[in-house]
Structure 1
Amino acid sequence: MDQRTFFNNQVASKDMSGYFLLHKGEFAYNKSTSTDSPWGAIKRLEKYDMGCVSTLYICFELLSGDPDFLVTYYETDRWYKAVQLIAAEGARNHGLLNIAPDDFFETQICIPKRIDEQRQIGAFFDRLDSLITLHQRKYCGVASWMLGVALVRLGSESDGAFGEMKHVLR
């Protein structure tokens, strides 16, 4: 997202020293930890032709293989073990992992050697994600319908305990 849209103005200065310039398709490893990402997050720049990130990030591009497979791989926790092995003692500094770029690039990840197999696996998980999204939407639709039915039924009850609720819900 363009920072001018998100923040309603430009936050970063025009001086880009101290930043890495990413090109579309390149990856950035954010070493900041969170509940959802205890070992940080690795994302690919997809929506823009170029972007910049702090030099605290570790940036890279895939020279061979299927980048879509790698996107899917980094959405899992399968790569955490390799990072756990290289995280320095006293590894967290205000939520930021102490991982040197050279160490990060020495990590081993398990991916199929054949690109066609990588593509098949990536396509499988893409279809699976679409199917999950479809069922989540279906569930939300059914839940909304059930809430509507419940409210109609409440509306037909005597005003007793639900009188105020009916007034608020209308």
Structure 2
Amino acid sequence: MHQIFAWEQRKLGNIAEIVGGGTPNTNISAYWDGDINWYSPAEINEQIYVNSSQRKISEQGYNNSSARMLPVGTVLFTSRAGIGKTAILSHEGCTNQGFQSIVPNPNLLDSYFIFSRTRELKQYGETIGAGSTFVEVSGKQMANMNLMMPSTIQEQKAIGNYFAQLDQLITLHQREYICVKNGGKLC
């Protein structure tokens, strides 16, 4: 029998590191067209996982910017120009300054669990960011977000796995629908 654990309120910054991004100088060609993934908010759409960015930066560009390398499992969170779009990194990479990415502490926060809370993250970001002329949410503001959470990582993983299976099922049915709609073409 599966044991149910109590939920507790936690600050996002206590269970994850919030990491902003950076952009190398665009006038220095040696900083660009390397092999380091470098994401911009426009690339984050309806996908769950991202594994390759449209633009890439070089090692030299990375070393000469405030971009930080983000590990697999990081939840990219757009913090401006459309606050609250999310995706999970399936390969390490970095972002421009339009992100406040969530790097889960692996012992305290499951990536898919926090990704499944995208709507709540977005609502918080839009509410907090609305006070300024240029709507943006800072890393400090994201770190201060209170979330109700299962008290154990095992419970989070169980919930995260459940939502991952639902998302896979939805994707499968969407593909089947498109196939049927197109009379069997594009299947």
Unaligned runs of 5+ in 1: 148-170
| 2:113 matched residue in structure 1 | 69
Question: 2:103 & 2:57 partners in 1: Cα distance?
Answer: 27
Contact 1:29 1:58 in 2 (8 A): yes
Distance 1:143 1:59, change over 3 A: closer
| 2:75 matched residue in structure 1 | 27
Contact 1:27 1:60 in 2 (8 A): yes
Question: 1:137 & 1:57 partners in 2: Cα distance?
Answer: 30
Q: Which structure carries more helix by proportion?
A: 1
State, as a whole percentage, how many aligned pairs show the same letter: 22
- TM (norm. structure 1) is 0.60
- Residue 43 of structure 1, aligned match among 70, 87, 101: 87
Question: 1:22 & 1:129 partners in 2: Cα distance?
Answer: 24
Unaligned runs of 5+ in 2: 1-35, 39-51
Give me the CA root mean square deviation.
3.2
Aligned residues: 133
Write the mapping of 1:136-151 to structure 2, written as runs, cut at 5 A. 136-145=174-183
Deviation at 1:13, TM superposition (A): 7.8
Tell me which structure has the larger Cα radius of gyration: 1
- Residue 123 of structure 2, aligned match among 81, 85, 107: 81
Higher-RCO chain (CA-CA 8 Å, sequence separation at least 6): 2
Moved over 6 A (4+): none
Contact 2:84 2:121 in 1 (8 A): no
Contact 1:28 1:60 in 2 (8 A): yes
Question: 1:130 & 1:116 partners in 2: Cα distance?
Answer: 21
Question: 2:179 & 2:96 partners in 1: Cα distance?
Answer: 41
| 2:31 matched residue in structure 1 | none
